[in-house]
Structure 1
Amino acid sequence: MQYLEFKISCAEDFREILIAELSEVGFDSFLETDTGFDAYIPEDQLDRSTYDEVIARYTSVAAIEVIEGKMAKVNWNEEWEKHYDPIMVENQVYVRASFHEEKPEFPYQILINPKMSFGTGHHATTYSMIAHQLETHHQGKRVLDIGAGTGILAIMAHLLGASEVEAFDIDEWCVENGDENFTLNGMSHVKMGKGTVRDVKPQGTYDIVLANINKNVLLDEMEVYGTLVKPTGFLLLSGFYEHDIADIQASAEKEGFKLLGKKVKDNWTALKLQKL
């Protein structure tokens, strides 16, 4: 079976959105690049009209350029080994795949086999969210991870001593990958939910809510976050640029949050807020 390869260049803001859109129309593997990403789909599974519709929808706003090609069936594990290096966060967290050696000198080790999900720690938003988590008391806390991707932030919460961790994402492949990663990290009792926060309808309130998504979704869901975080609890947000802080902060303050701190990496930002 041959795979079709689409080398897609696009504006950075739209990379994750496009990956999510293409995953919904049959693309099953992605590799991020300096200019965008490569997308792969079995040749017999491509619905050309549906694909064209997705690309046309974003071409002008996302500055999309596409180079198409064919390739033989790929060993994706081998491809990940070529492209996925382990990372370190604040000299405390070591994020690796199963084919990397352990580093016992790090107090926290996270095992992630990312496949095509987001959240390996390489992206600045994930890195900064983990850095915020390291500075937030999790021991015995109830934690919710919204738009969890690979489940990396939920796993970090578990390692930091959270007594209860819940996580969900809108994409089926994130759900499958998240469950796999939970098992790899001794969290087989946690199962990834599927849907938006309004679909899932989390019950009760949480000490810590994590949401690494994008600006528009965060603004749209902020009112819901306000109902989910306990008084004096924490809301950690990322997925937006430094120039978006004012909009995110204003929306959060309307729901009773105050800004405690921010982290900026490669112009991406993560905020830590507390419910008053």
Structure 2
Amino acid sequence: MCRSVLPLLVTLSPALLLLPDVAVTHKQLREDYKYGRQDLELPEKESHCTWKCILFTVQWPGGFCQSLNNETLCRIPQSVNNWTIHGLWPLKAQACCSCWPMFHSDVQELEAELNEHWPSLLKTKSSFQFWKEEWRKHGTCAACVEGFNSPLKYFNLCLKLRQQFDIHRLLEDAGITPSCERSYKVVEVQDVLTPHLGDKYEIQCVKDDKDQQVWFQVKVRLFRNLTVGCDHHGPAAGSGPASHSSPGHPCPLDAPFFYLPINHRDPRRPCG
């Protein structure tokens, strides 16, 4: 049976994803692979799990589409009207394992939630391909911590983090809503988000084809126990030269930016 995901504010103990040299059945191996082992006792396991902070990143679909050079690439499913997950990325992680593949069955029980809250916004990439890439580049690096040590756990925790950091509701309650006419400043958004995200997060923008600053995503720095405020710096796992880098940049403090509405029919032209 699947063990319930650990509470977000409880410290997660680290454990390496190596199976002991004992005879086990195929069913046991499959359950260990999917749900993660809980009884690992390996020497020096702390030294292999070097990352201290993890970035939880959500993106606004109306801004994401402005980040793409090719306007035909973007799609926003009709069911998507909210902030979506971009990823959960350990900083300075070394315990990555490209040998750990992910299969559809690993996240099948979460598929409905993932399609709603973590969809691919590219016509050229299915949602499962997106999830698979995120697991390969980032999830396997996080997996040295027990609470992340399977695809199911990793994606389940991401969904719970998105629920905990309900940015759309926080903004809406404060009167900050998508608009083609009204612009916002960073300080306005910080006044709303800082009490909930701490002070170690980044509001990111991209420039649209009118050279306007457009709100793109939010990166929240978390400790391993998923509490806010981690200030340990370093590149995200999988963020090397060979990997896709985010087009976002910190929204300028002295210039307004737009929080554009979602246009499902023509994502690149939210304002017509």
TM-score range, shorter chain: under 0.3
Instruction: Normalising by structure 2, report the TM-score.
Output: 0.27
Using CA pairs under 8 Å that are at least 6 residues apart, name the structure with larger relative contact order, 1 or 2.
2
Normalising to structure 1: TM-score of the pair? Answer: 0.27
Structure with the higher helix share, 1 or 2: 1
